[in-house]
Homo-oligomer: A and B are copies of this chain.
């Protein structure tokens, strides 16, 4: 019989404390399987509590499977997995970000309109009917889908009705859902721009599509190459190619639409930073030209904050029901935040926020381009008219590019090379410099550190690319 020394915390009820102590003793292996426990009377005496307390605790743990009640031989410990001393699985340690973060992909976190968002949420929580809190429509909250239709028509020339809008939690997961939908519809291959986001390609593959890279040049995606890869759909960034930065030219836009109609293929338009265009008004979405062939994807990840995980697809009508099939039930985005975004749009606050940050990002872009021209004339910035990053090409080759990024990292300057973006062999080298991440007060010094670094780090043998001509280097035969 075991001499049961239990560590019962004083603050809790006797019975809960006793149960918890017994669970821990069993789990830790201190009471191995088969151990016979003291009788309830004996333990109650030891602990100075009522016998009923011990009986109840034993019964509870029998129900839970920690103990077994054996006829005639009292209560014994059941065979329970004993905790090993093995610590947590060796997850990759999350490296703290670099001191100067000039990687692309995220807006300035400090620009998030906290007060406005709080106001919208408060209004929702005070006034929304209880039905908001139900499982709700898998495609998203009707009031948000209506607000998005108006917002996207105004800001991006998107042509849609609310029935075509699906609210999601970021383009990557929507792409997974879309991939499953397309695969069920008989699509086998998704053409992608030869430079893009590797985790987009991965998620499309994970959900059943083959990936076929197609070249890009100074006019964007080379549409003529689509037929060679036999794609049933193409993922494209028309407004601001990621990462190279060019805009799909007018003739390519019509060629792409012609291709999609002729092949009955789908165009997936990733409009990740469509709100940000600095030199003239934004180029309207491709979707508006053919809402029956183009899936439009937008997000709050650049305009508000990546941490919101709130985005949308606008679908051609024939894809709505298949996507709903693949999605299943229920929805996947908090109804409260959907309603808050609808409020933010409906009150005009999202537009005002976007205008405000757009002006700030334009200043940042101007400062970056000017600084690069002085400190690193060997870099040729491209794609500067839009978005939150600049691609700065140079002639150094992949090794020089990698070295440059590593040396920057050694000085705690976060830069990204073009290298990881190529699906096939790299056809250009350069840096993808995001200028949106540093907080406003840190941007000037971030630029100073970047230019100091670049002025010293010019790779040996690099030639200054001809300004504005860099994407011509991608001209394919």
Contact = CB atoms under 8 A, between A and B. Distances in A.
Nearest to A132: B307
B288 A64 contact: yes
A280 B83 contact: no
Contacts of A329: 172, 199
A63 B130 contact: no
A379 interface: no
Contact of A81 (B66, B173, B284, B293): B293
A334 B309 contact: yes
Contact of A79 (B132, B254, B305): B254
Contact of A78 (B60, B254, B337): B254
Count of identical protomers in the assembly: 2
A109 B130 contact: yes
A284 to B, nearest CB: 4
Interface residues of A, number: 100
- A105, A126, A202, A332: most-surrounded residue (chain B CB, <10 A): A332
Contacts of A258: 79
Given A202-B328, A439-B130, A254 B68 contact: yes
Interface of A: 16, 20, 23, 27, 60-66, 68-69, 78-81, 83, 86, 88-89, 91, 94, 105-106, 109-110, 112, 114-115, 117-118, 121-122, 125-126, 130-137, 157, 159, 161-164, 169-170, 172-173, 176, 180, 199, 202-203, 206, 247, 250, 253-254, 257-258, 280-281, 283-284, 286, 288-293, 301, 305-310, 317-318, 320-321, 326, 328-337, 439
16 contacts: A27-B288, A60-B284, A62-B250, A63-B247, A65-B257, A68-B254, A69-B250, A88-B162, A106-B134, A109-B130, A109-B133, A118-B121, A172-B328, A173-B332, A307-B336, A336-B337
